[in-house]
């Protein structure tokens, strides 16, 4: 029989895909989610579901759990600038309660969803884990604060912890896919144009120092990401807080994404070049060398057309109500 894991935020995009992978690997899964941005039907069949907050995790966490995978958070950069207090309360305050609950229950393994936003403006490309962390939003700052909290918990109380710093997660896995509301991620936004739900896609800045003038980002398939979480559970070591970037190591420009959506969907996808947005670095690409070395992880779905095709299949299924 497999292990038993608590998946916080498992009704959301990434958490539901990881929960599905854990179930497929023979583990037992309990999803704890308050449905603030997630969906009850997103919880994979076979997982136990608790509708509740991580702030109250002590009510449910006990020694029967082998570990926690912690996805629950608010994660909209723009919203975090407008309402920083909510990000500190939920992301930092909530994780503080979760760590306390884990300590008292004796649950000593944690995999945490950190983010590329902890780095802020990159000093070099690709970004490595030893690069400076200087987040440019309360969202990134709240995630970095949690990373610091976890380092202390590992050093002082022997937690076995891995933080995975995701770059741009994309694609879908079976019935689990991306459905943020409001949506701020490029691929689902471009797909909304292809579905006829948006007239055009805005390209923020066409004069960046990149080959086609648009920003370059590192897209990682959500199923590759899920595999990294299972490897992280195996690699977690008592007293150590391991931090690993997760990306393709390969950037794609905004225009390449739009072109790929055109060829996958057959829709012309009109684009409108708009002013640059403040705080958007030209290139954000991860070095995944640490993840490869420490977790034995390598992305196997790095092809942009494959990522977009999977996201498109999911978006169309949702549109048709199936
Ligand atoms: N999607 C990305 O590209 C990306 C990139 C970097 C990091 N991340 C991180 O990955 C994690 C998952 O992201 P996602 O895209 O799946 O977001 P999501 O909004 O789809 O999922 C987050 C889930 O957490 C739940 N939640 C929030 N606060 C909670 C609380 N206090 N108690 C219980 N449940 C709560 C929400 O209801 C939701 O189901 C987040 O921590 C995010 O910061 C995501």
In this structure, the residue with its CA closest to atom 18 of ligand 1 is 12
Q: What's the CA gap between 190 and 209, in Å, rounded?
A: 23
Residue located via tokens 């309660």: 97
In this structure, the residue with its CA closest to atom 9 of ligand 1 is 113
Q: What's the CA gap between 222 and 132, in Å, rounded?
A: 26
Per-residue model confidence (pLDDT) at position 322? 64
Q: Is 173 labeled as catalytic in the residue annotation?
A: no
Task: Pick the atom of ligand 1 nearest to 37's CA.
Answer: 37
| Tens of each residue's pLDDT in the chain, 322 residues | 799 999 999 999 999 999 999 999 999 999 999 999 999 999 999 999 999 999 999 999 999 999 999 999 999 998 999 999 999 999 999 999 999 999 999 999 999 999 999 999 899 999 999 999 999 999 999 999 999 999 999 999 999 999 999 999 999 999 899 988 888 899 999 999 999 999 999 999 999 999 999 999 999 999 999 999 999 999 999 999 999 999 988 899 999 999 999 999 999 999 999 999 877 889 999 999 999 999 999 999 999 999 999 999 999 998 888 6
Ligand 1 site residues, Cβ closer than 6 angstroms: 8-9, 11-15, 32-38, 53-55, 71-73, 75, 90, 94, 113, 115, 166, 168-169, 180
**Cross-strand partners of 311:** none
Task: Pick the atom of ligand 1 nearest to 10's CA.
Answer: 39
Per-residue model confidence (pLDDT) at position 250? 83
In this structure, the residue with its CA closest to atom 3 of ligand 1 is 169
- List C-alpha distances in Å: 253 to 6, 209, 211, 287, 313: 36, 11, 8, 17, 22
Q: What's the CA gap between 24 and 28, in Å, rounded?
A: 10
Which two tokens mark 160?
């076995």
Per-residue model confidence (pLDDT) at position 217? 95
């Amino acid at each position: 029989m497999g292990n038993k894991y608590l998946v916080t935020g498992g009704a959301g995009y990434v958490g539901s895909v990881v929960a599905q992978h854990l179930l497929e690997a023979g583990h037992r899964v309990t999803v704890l989610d308050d449905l603030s941005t997630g969906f009850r039907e997103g919880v994979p069949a076979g997982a136990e579901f608790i509708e509740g907050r991580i702030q109250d995790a002590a009510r449910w966490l006990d020694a029967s759990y082998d570990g926690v995978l912690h996805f629950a958070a608010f994660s909209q950069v723009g919203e975090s600038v407008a309402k920083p207090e909510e990000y500190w309360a939920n992301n930092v305050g909530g994780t503080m309660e979760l760590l306390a609950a884990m300590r008292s229950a004796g649950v000593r393994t944690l995999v945490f969803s950190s983010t590329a936003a902890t780095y802020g403006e990159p000093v070099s490309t690709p970004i490595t884990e030893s690069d400076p962390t200087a987040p440019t939003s309360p969202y990134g700052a709240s995630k970095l604060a949690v990373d610091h909290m976890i380092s202390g918990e590992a050093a002082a109380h022997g937690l076995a912890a891995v933080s995975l710093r995701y770059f741009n997660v994309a694609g879908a896995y079976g019935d689990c896919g991306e459905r943020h509301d409001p949506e701020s991620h490029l691929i689902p936004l471009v797909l909304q144009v292809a579905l006829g739900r948006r007239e055009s896609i805005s390209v923020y800045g066409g004069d960046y120092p990149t080959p086609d003038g648009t920003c370059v980002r590192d897209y990682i398939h959500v199923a590759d990401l899920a595999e990294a979480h299972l490897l992280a559970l195996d690699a977690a070591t008592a007293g150590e807080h391991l931090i690993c970037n997760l990306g393709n190591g390969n950037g794609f420009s905004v225009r390449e994404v739009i072109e790929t959506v055109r060829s996958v969907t057959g829709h012309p996808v009109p684009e409108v070049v708009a002013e640059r947005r403040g705080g958007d670095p030209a290139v954000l690409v991860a070095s995944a060398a640490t993840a490869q070395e420490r977790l034995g992880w390598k992305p196997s779905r790095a092809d942009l057309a494959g990522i977009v095709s999977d996201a498109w299949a999911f978006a169309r299924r949702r549109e048709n109500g199936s």
